[in-house]
Chain A
Amino acid sequence: MTGFKTLKEKAIAFDRANVDTDQIIPKQFLKRIEKTGFGQYLFYEWRYMADGSLNPTFELNQDKNQHASILIANENFGCGSSREHAPWALLDYGFKVILAPSFADIFHQNCMKNGVLPIALPKEQIVQLLEKGKQQPYQLEVNLEKQTIGDETGFQVSFEIDAYWKTMLMNGWDEIEITLQLADHITAYEQALR
């Protein structure tokens, strides 16, 4: 994972509630052996027509939404199974931040573990952001260090994040990295065993 402190990138208005992990990545793609490459199957059922062509009405397929890395969605994002393939698919597609009024527990955890930043904002703020995002290509600036989100028109709000995960994400550490910093303890434990 590469750490980020601030990120200024395109945001997509994805005005849907209760988006479950089956919709994020359908089960027929779980037999793959890679962690990468799931991006092409992200939102598969919505994104493609029955004949395999792109569904022109789907948010991700609209011209103004290309190369976005921030997803603005509605409540209970990521509900359903515990599959880690969901954050893998989002990340592989290019999403680094997801904004929503609420997230499903396990999905939220899985995102952090995989370097995707899920930010919960009050419903009114999400409604505002969705409106802006629907109009034109829309850019947001996410400052993880200061815990703020803003745009060029002066919109500015702050958000909450667990201190442990903030450190991890800012440094681009994953849990393994953190643990490896304790390698001396592990070695000492192993030596005491002998």
Chain B
Amino acid sequence: MNLTSLTDRPVEWLKGGPESDVVVSSRVRLARNVDGRLFVWRASDEQRAEVEKLLRDAILSLELEPPLTYTRLDGLDPVLLELLLERRLISTEQAEGDWIRAVAFDEAEQISIMVNEEDHLRLQVIRSGSRLQQAYRRADELDDALSQTVRFAYSEKYGYLTACPTNVGTGMRASVMLHLPAIVMAQEMDRIIRTARERRLAIRGVYGEGTHGAGDFYQISNHVTLGVSEDELIETVARAGTKLAEMERTARLNLYRQHRKEFETRIRRAYELLCSASAISSQEALNLLSQVRMGAQMNVLEETRIETLNKLFLLTLPAHLQTMEGEVLDNSVANEVRAAYVRSVLTSG
């Protein structure tokens, strides 16, 4: 398929769904390795090629309807790699690799199967909103189907064997992505971090380094993968997501009730800036869109719809912008193009 056409399509995980005022999306990722084979980093190019072929055959034999798109990533244009990364179809590690590797994904962009990432197979299902159970069921089904043709490395004691012991056992990372602008505004992130820690969950900013997230998007996930069942992990993460969502909603209400004037002014100012700036960086856009999204969610701002904002979150990202423009943009030009694009989308409602 022509990957550039992806920009015409909405992504699954910005589609709304249950609790999506705060819980943007849910994701389950399973790590698997082919039995009797060296792990990716240790294997030779020839061995990696063998595993890629083996897994490609297995994935295509799934015969899903409609069929998965299978794309080799080695040698792919870096902008397209970044496009896939922005759409969360591949991980940073997969994008930055330079060996034989691939990704298979479905039309809805809910399913994504990476070949030769840190493990031979990284199977991922994303759903919008708070839908971890559904995401897991689908991932589980796919795992079962692949197990019919591939023998995965597994030991009775340690479970599914992975390249890094941090993933051994279930090989599962369950996560939810949360939008927490009010918590950030009220400077209560340490409460969130504490809540996550108490439940042995990791938390990180989605767009940015370490804990701070541009656009106030945060991901919480399990980091323990052994000694617990998959169902338990799903439950723990889903519950935490719900709890943190409640905290965010309370924070939004508090901000509105106790600091109404400042709150409304701030939201308005963000909106006006987006409508009038002549140049805007990706980070800035994320931060301003975050404020505006919160305002729209709370009906403080009625000029624009959530769907429009969700679209903008994605299309203002560097690779998406560049792909839509159809040419390579240097930074300052990109910032102008981005600003123009945002202005045109917002002013046309």
Q: Bound pair: A and B?
A: no
The chain A residues found within 8 Å of chain B, CB to CB, are none
